[in-house]
Amino acid sequence: APEPATLVVFGVTGDLARRKLLPAIFGLFQGGLLSSAVELLGVGRQEMSSGEFRQFVAEALRESSETDEIEEGSLASFLETLAYRSGDLAGEQVYADIREFCEGRGTSNALFYLSLPPSLFITVSDGLAGQGLHEQTDGWRRLVIEKPFGRDLESARELQARLTRHWQESQIYRIDHYLGKETVQNLLAIRFGNAIFEPLWNRNLIDHVQITAAEDLGLEGRAGYYEEAGVVRDMLQNHLLQLLALTAMEPPAPGSPDALRDEKAKVFQAIGRITPEKADEVAVRGQYAAGTLYGERLSGYQDEEGVAEGSRTATYIAVRLEVDNWRWQGVPFFLRTGKRLPKKVTEIAVVFKRPPLSIFPNVERNVLAFRIQPDEGVSLKLSSKTPGQEMELREVVMDFRYDAFGAPLESPYSRLLLDALTGDASLFPREEEVMESWRIVQGLLDAWEGQGQTERYTSGTWGPDAADELIGEDRRWRRL
């Protein structure tokens, strides 16, 4: 269990906090993983009394689909521990109030969670430091920062420089919630907890890797953020590249807390940057147009509230990357992600080469697929003889489903919050990883922003047709 601490959540009335963070914190509390020694202090713009804040939290918990089943007694005790402060984050007062609150508690340990738009990260970091809240004289102080870390390589460096004026790198926890997903961690378990995969895991037997993160949702009222971000900053630079790194990395040395992050960083270093001239050759961008999904007629991105007329913001990307090292030379990694696709599904598929000489017709490639969500599991596609006189082969699937464990999957935010509270940073991307991933995608930003055409795709389809050309004639995207 974590030590006593104050958990300060900035932006506590925002969308992320309501939908994900508060349910995760409550889940930890209800599960007995946060003793009452961890107290939550919410910080927001709105003025609210403690009573109003508690009511707000209770409603958020009841509304979020992420909340575990609520046990009324636990909810009542949880609400009792909550406190709230409001203020202007650009001023000083709110930080003085936070300091006073922290000082009034029996511990000086504090975790500051910035569930805020990136434009406020520096303001809050400076504000906290102005009150000495970064100093670790008689307890620890940590900063959790939501993605995206910066908006390009240059601003990420600037952000890093501004943060490290006050905070040490070891105090900074950059959150990428994909790393907290059970199924993402299972990728490591399957790769390194079994001896049979390692000999296959390289250019000799693997034809290519496909990583898909499809979403059925559209903007969900987040135009203000999304118009600024777009799919490259929202999903590719962080979640998808992290999945790639975990798939491609070398086994980390045991026992070293930094080994995992070192190995991921090495993968990024081996990926060449996409030059702006090459952007349209190695990547396809798209934006959703009106269409039908689950029988419902939905409007296009251009008609969403808050989207600028003629916006080029991409909501879909497919990209081909190569990891230039001995293990992966010549093996393409195809990544795709988009909004308003036919369904929500995230998968990493390792596609093997065909047998060197086929004595049967129609021999397909084997595929080892890690289903990250939903219907979580791992499957292996093989060719098998069908019953009968003929030697006829058909694809069959060996399937492991998480349901088999009969236990619910933990929320990634719960896992990561607990890690941050206990000081385990291994699942939080380190500075080099973030800078390297910006370096990789910077060319796409340079080539696309304010330039060229973003092709439209109909909502409820799998994105622009050009993505099929990108993957090549002899390969096809998985039908998910």
Helix or strand run (H / E) with residue 258:
none
On whether 381 is known to bind a ligand per the annotation, the reply is no
On whether 15 is known to bind a ligand per the annotation, the reply is no
Cβ-closest residue to ligand BG6?
A: 234
Task: Please report how close the Cβ of residue 340 comes to ligand BG6 at its closest, in angstroms.
Answer: 11
What the block records as the tokens of 395 is 């694809």
Question: 58 or 240: whose CB is closer to ligand BG6?
Answer: 240
Closest CA to 330 of 236, 477, 466, 202: 202
Question: 231 or 271: whose CB is closer to ligand BG6?
Answer: 231
Helix or strand run (H / E) with residue 451:
none
On whether 177 is known to bind a ligand per the annotation, the reply is yes
On whether 266 is known to bind a ligand per the annotation, the reply is no
- Count CA atoms within 13 Å of residue 220 on its CB side: 9
Task: Please report how close the Cβ of residue 448 comes to ligand BG6 at its closest, in angstroms.
Answer: 18
Contacting residues for 271 by C-beta, under 8 A, at least 6 apart: 321, 322, 323, 324, 436, 440
Task: Please report how close the Cβ of residue 217 comes to ligand BG6 at its closest, in angstroms.
Answer: 6
What the block records as the tokens of 194 is 């079994």
Q: 53-59 contacts: CB < 8 A, separation 24 or more?
A: 53/82, 53/83, 53/84, 54/79, 54/80, 54/82, 56/13, 57/22, 57/82
Task: Please report how close the Cβ of residue 234 comes to ligand BG6 at its closest, in angstroms.
Answer: 5
On whether 141 is known to bind a ligand per the annotation, the reply is no
Give residue 302's identity as a one-letter amino acid code. Answer: Q
Q: Which of 134, 166, 208, 239 is catalytic?
A: 239
CA distances for 44 relative to 10, 47, 89, 127, 149, angstroms: 6, 8, 9, 14, 21
Q: Respond yes or no: is residue 239 known to be catalytic.
A: yes
On whether 264 is known to bind a ligand per the annotation, the reply is no
Task: Please report how close the Cβ of residue 215 comes to ligand BG6 at its closest, in angstroms.
Answer: 5
Question: 175 or 323: whose CB is closer to ligand BG6?
Answer: 175
Q: Which residues of this protein are in contact with ligand BG6, per CB under 6 A?
A: 177, 215, 234, 346
| Distance separating the N- and C-terminal Cα atoms of the chain | 39
Residue list for the binding site: 45, 88-89, 147, 177, 181, 215, 234, 339, 344
Residues labelled as active-site residues: 239
Residue list for the binding site for NADP(+): 45, 88-89, 147
